[in-house]
Structure 1
Amino acid sequence: MTPSEQIFSRYPPPTGWRYRENHGSGAKRSNYNNGIDDVRDSETYYPCINGNINCNQYRGFNKVRVQVTDTPERPVLTLPPSLTEGTPARITCSVQHTCAHNPPVLQWNKVGFNRTERSEELEGGVRRFVSEIEYIPTYQDDGSPIVCESNYRTGQVLEDTATLDITYPPKNVAVIKLDGEKKIEEGEEVTLQCASDANPPANNYTWYRIKKKEELKEHGEEITVTINWENMRFSCSARNWLGNNDSSIIDLRLFFYAKVAHMGGKREFEEGEVLQLECHFSMSRQWPFQYSWYRNRIPLNNETQRTLRIYDVKESDSGNYSCKVYTSDGNFSSL
């Protein structure tokens, strides 16, 4: 075999290179098809004889310039046009590359099932590596990023990111008293809101007064009610086109409070007088309430009636008095 019949690149031939002979009309011709892995720099390649012959004498052969770019291809995420909680969806990540023996590794930041991978051959020596997962949307993932990373043998990591838009029915439905922890008295008006987490937002509401679960006429997100002993417990239901959910019950009696009143209107007393205080509680008097009394937050033993009387008052009786009311529905304090 002549030197011209032993042509290969300037690098030693890697594993897997191929030798092919063509015969025709008495002429003998030999070609090598050679692949070079892990190319990092732009180079000029030319034919060369094997190591037993000086390559310099063949530099006049035709040459090819290989241009190496600094940045490999970024991966591409492909998602369905819509995602709904609980409905499985196929999500694809793909990346183009030219390293047949060392394709990039694709990684996900979300848990997926039935993962598949495949390689597709495109034109001009380009390949596409594809990773596909079955993703089950949850409402907790709504608004969070889904990321696909391509990890290259060179250490480079590129990614594509998309924000998940997941539709779901109302969650965490709750009745909220808009003025917070403010105490209320019987006869006052209170505004309640039916709050929920939903995508799309809830657009229809049903309100209930919990006595015999009476449905109210109001259907807005907020309602205003007048408080009385028979009108204290409420719940609501929030709905969008995907479904509805109910709230727990709010008991407005928890916002009632007891109040200490000075009988006779006096707030200052002389020694030897009678101090009389009454624990007012703005609920129906039909309930058998029990009471306890405090001076400067210290319990007064054996004082369990609605009215506190201290005969022959002394300077040592001075202080801040408060009371607590005990009912079958909870305890209410003036502290």
Structure 2
Amino acid sequence: MSREPVNLVEVGPRDGLQNESRPLDVERRVELIHRLVDAGLTTVEAGSFVSPKWVPQMADTDQVLDRLDLDAGIHYPVLVPNQKGLDAALSAGAKDIAIFGAASESFSKKNINCSIEESLDRFRPVAEQALGNGMRVRGYVSCLVACPYEGRIEPNQVVPVVRAMFEMGCYEVSLGDTIGRGTPKQIHAVLDALLSEFKPEQLALHCHDTYGMAIANIVAGLEKGIRTFDASVGGAGGCPYAPGASGNVATEDVVYLLESEGFETGVDVEALVETGKWLFGELDKMPPSKVNQAYQS
């Protein structure tokens, strides 16, 4: 009997590294991506076209893409914040981009200095041009259940932002528990609201482990039919604009969970553990991943 597949989106080389204090040069970022692909991951965020003044860790993303085989069947999405970012992504030959919004007005203003509606208006022409150039467009929505500035976020705040992302042409929207404050009950509630309008295969979960709830929330997502999850090798990173967002859920931990529960990820957990160990050696710190630590003990 075949096992049900689950898709993993590896965000370590972008969302992970952007919040690490020690930047990695292009060579080591490319090596990280190659290691992740060799471990079996087929969607790996390669970087972002944001100002290096604000996110120096993502400088030279064009050089990273230049060293990757963009026609080998692996998806290498890059984050673009605006038209300038899209222009740079197009020039670099990117085939996949990600755009982002938030379910919290306060977070939107702190993060990108505009309201939710203004941010969506900004991204509509970006998505239209990207689609016109044959790119795939993924959407991110931050503050799924809680905001560091507003507190609790209700499901009815999330639904219209997700709807707008799909209206722009996104093939998938990733739902981010940005500060990791969500619980399974809250995840169930917001997914119930979304799944009354959208199919589970259109949605992904992006859980942070700030309060140790990420794995429990992923299980909650599985219970509601979600089969795509974002994760960061070793548990690297977090959100630089969200106080208290200590880190993404570790890819090793998610793979261990899914494979143990009878799902198919296509990822070699031991190769992933070695990659996490190598990455955090480069960052000169211990990986937060519990599975990584267990394999090394």
Give me the TM-score of the superposition, normalised by structure 2: 0.18
Report which of the two has the higher share of strand: 1
**Greater radius of gyration (CA):** 1
Select the structure with the greater relative contact order (CA < 8 A; seq sep ≥ 6). Answer: 2
Give me the TM-score of the superposition, normalised by structure 1: 0.16
